[in-house]
């Protein structure tokens, strides 16, 4: 009965080993998550139900994909992806407006659902990472809020801790390993000669003045279809996802404008992170810096394994810079003194550890910026 209810692809789905494995994976991983959600109840249970709906929609799309030819571009796949767009929009709507109860739980669910966009992967150069990498990158975005749940309830409520751990395992290793085994190159599409999917019929508008309006239907494709240099395609794709989830409206429209008198550089009571006097170290400090360097390791500023920038043991350097970086990479800064680092790009996260009199200017991070075991650190986010 339960398996039949999940099998909304009919008899054709039941004979597909990949779909049967999807049911088994979801029954185990989601079963644990739902058990914790039922103990918590309220909006957490509601958000978990929306998450279950999204995973069911993703399964439906995998079944439907085998009946249609592979879309030539993201633009051609808009109608196919609309059910998933609508479900993600529903989860995002739960985080908007007045800050809801269990906000971190809501954000964890809403942000994690971007991982399901792996079903839109159409091949290398389509504007997004390969499916398993896409799931990992999307979970990194959600994990920022999921970790907040773990920290908040660590010594307060085991049910919330169990829910947060189960949510993580649903994606990593759960969904990631499932995709790696069955769909490493994306969904399996039908033969080229079969009929393409038809556009979804427009949903009739509901009568006005009866309760709050439903979330606005996405007005833009899940992924950008603009042609651009290859290196910028993944960024375009994810920015289009956020535009999609935002219902097509400008996500910055509710922010206040920063006037000139609010800027730190124009305020007498504030000082900038990097001042003109920091251009070169004073002679006296230079001699002390040499002693400090000899007691520590070799200075480093390098990219390791293509994923992690390491900046270590830099002393008296005001001209440090990282230019070639992307949102998949992290930066770890350790044991630096009397130095300034400029990060010219968006990265996943930045950690400053055991540094003294250190300044850093960065553009943006996906997850978090943290400072630990430091003294006299100045940070500026652009």
What is the per-residue pLDDT across 112-130, written as a single tens digit (0 to 9) for each? Answer: 988 888 888 877 777 778 8
- Residue 176: which region, alpha, beta or left (left: phi > 0; alpha: psi -120 to 50)? alpha
Mean pLDDT of 171-182: 90
d(CA 99, CA 103): 7
Mean pLDDT, the chain, rounded, equals 75
Reference 330, options 360, 353, 309; nearest CA is 309
Reference 206, options 195, 219, 215; nearest CA is 215
DSSP 8-state secondary structure symbol assigned to residue 355? -
Listed range (160-169, 245-254, 322-331, 349-358) with the worst mean pLDDT:
245-254
Mean pLDDT of 350-362: 93
d(CA 153, CA 39): 14
Q: Count each helix (H run) and each strand (E run) in the chain, helices first.
A: 11, 7
> What is the SS3 string spanning 175-242?
HHHHHHHHCCCCCCCCCCCCCCCCCCCCCCCCCCCCCCCCCCCCCCCCCCCCCCCHHHHHHHHHHHHH
- Predicted pLDDT at 346: 92
Give the residue carrying structure tokens 């360097």. Answer: 293
CA distances (Å), origin 12, targets 45, 55, 280: 32, 19, 71
Q: How many CB atoms lie within 10 A of CB 210?
A: 7
- Predicted pLDDT at 283: 45
Mean pLDDT of 72-83: 77
Q: Does residue 278 surpass a pLDDT of 90?
A: no
Q: Does residue 336 surpass a pLDDT of 80?
A: yes
Q: How many CB atoms lie within 10 A of CB 217?
A: 13
- Predicted pLDDT at 227: 38
- Predicted pLDDT at 209: 37
d(CA 333, CA 128): 29
Question: Quick check: do 10-183 and 300-381 share a fold?
Answer: no
d(CA 382, CA 369): 13
What ranges make up the beta strands (E) of the chain? 300-304, 308-312, 320-322, 330-334, 337-353, 356-372, 375-381
- Predicted pLDDT at 229: 38
Burial (CB count within 10 angstroms: exposed 0-12, middle 13-18, buried 19+), residue 31: exposed
- Predicted pLDDT at 128: 75
Q: Does residue 201 surpass a pLDDT of 90?
A: no
What CATH number is given for 10-183 in this structure? 1.25.40.330
DSSP 8-state secondary structure symbol assigned to residue 265? G
Domain boundaries, the chain: 10-183, 300-381
d(CA 261, CA 256): 14
* Cis before 173? omega within 30: yes
Question: Of 22-26, 303-307, 343-347, which has the strongest mean pLDDT?
Answer: 343-347
Token pair recorded at residue 251:
């996500």
d(CA 16, CA 188): 11
Q: Which residues of 251-289 are buried (b: 16+ CB within 10 A; e: fewer)?
A: eeeeeeeeeeeeeeeeeeeeeeebeeebeebeeeeeeeb
What CATH number is given for 300-381 in this structure? 2.160.20.70
The pTM of the full predicted model, rounded to 2 decimals, is 0.50
- Predicted pLDDT at 61: 87
Listed range (235-244, 249-258, 283-292, 304-313) with the worst mean pLDDT:
283-292
> Strand pairing partners for 375?
356
d(CA 96, CA 88): 13
- Predicted pLDDT at 263: 62
Q: Does residue 335 surpass a pLDDT of 90?
A: yes
């Amino acid at each position: 009965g339960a398996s039949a209810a999940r099998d909304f692809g009919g008899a054709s789905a039941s004979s597909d080993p990949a779909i049967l494995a999807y049911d088994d994976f979801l029954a185990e991983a989601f079963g644990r998550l739902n058990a914790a959600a039922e103990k918590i109840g309220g909006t957490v249970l509601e958000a978990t139900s929306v998450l279950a709906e999204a995973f069911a929609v993703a399964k439906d799309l995998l079944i439907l994909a085998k009946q249609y030819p592979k879309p030539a571009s993201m633009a051609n796949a808009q109608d196919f992806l609309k059910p998933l767009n609508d479900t993600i929009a529903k989860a995002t709507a739960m985080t908007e407006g007045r800050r809801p109860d269990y906000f971190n739980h809501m954000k964890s669910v809403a942000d994690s659902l971007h991982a399901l966009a792996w079903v839109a992967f159409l091949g290398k150069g389509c504007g997004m990472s390969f499916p398993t990498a896409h799931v990992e990158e999307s979970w990194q975005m959600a994990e920022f809020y999921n970790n907040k749940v773990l920290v908040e309830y660590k010594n307060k409520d085991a049910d919330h801790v169990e829910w947060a751990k189960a949510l993580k395992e649903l994606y990593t290793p759960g969904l990631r390993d499932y995709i790696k085994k069955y769909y490493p190159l994306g969904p399996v599409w039908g033969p080229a000669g079969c009929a393409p999917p038809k556009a979804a019929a427009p949903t009739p508008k509901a009568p006005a003045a009866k309760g709050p309006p439903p979330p606005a239907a996405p007005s833009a494709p899940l992924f950008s279809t603009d042609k651009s240099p290859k290196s910028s395609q993944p960024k375009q794709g994810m920015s289009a996802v956020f535009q999609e989830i935002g219902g097509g409206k400008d996500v910055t429209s509710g922010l206040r404008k920063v006037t000139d008198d609010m800027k730190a550089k124009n305020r007498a009571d504030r000082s900038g992170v990097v001042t003109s006097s920091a251009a070169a170290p004073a002679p006296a400090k230079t001699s002390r810096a040499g002693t400090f360097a000899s007691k520590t390791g070799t200075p480093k500023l390098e990219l390791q394994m293509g994923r992690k920038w390491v900046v270590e043991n830099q002393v008296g350097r005001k001209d440090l810079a990282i230019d070639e970086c992307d949102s998949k990479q992290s930066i770890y800064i350790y044991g630096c003194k009397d130095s300034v680092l400029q990060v010219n790009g968006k990265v996943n996260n930045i950690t400053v550890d055991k540094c003294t009199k250190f300044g850093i200017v960065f553009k943006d991070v996906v997850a978090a910026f943290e400072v630990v075991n430091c003294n006299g650190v100045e940070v500026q986010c652009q």
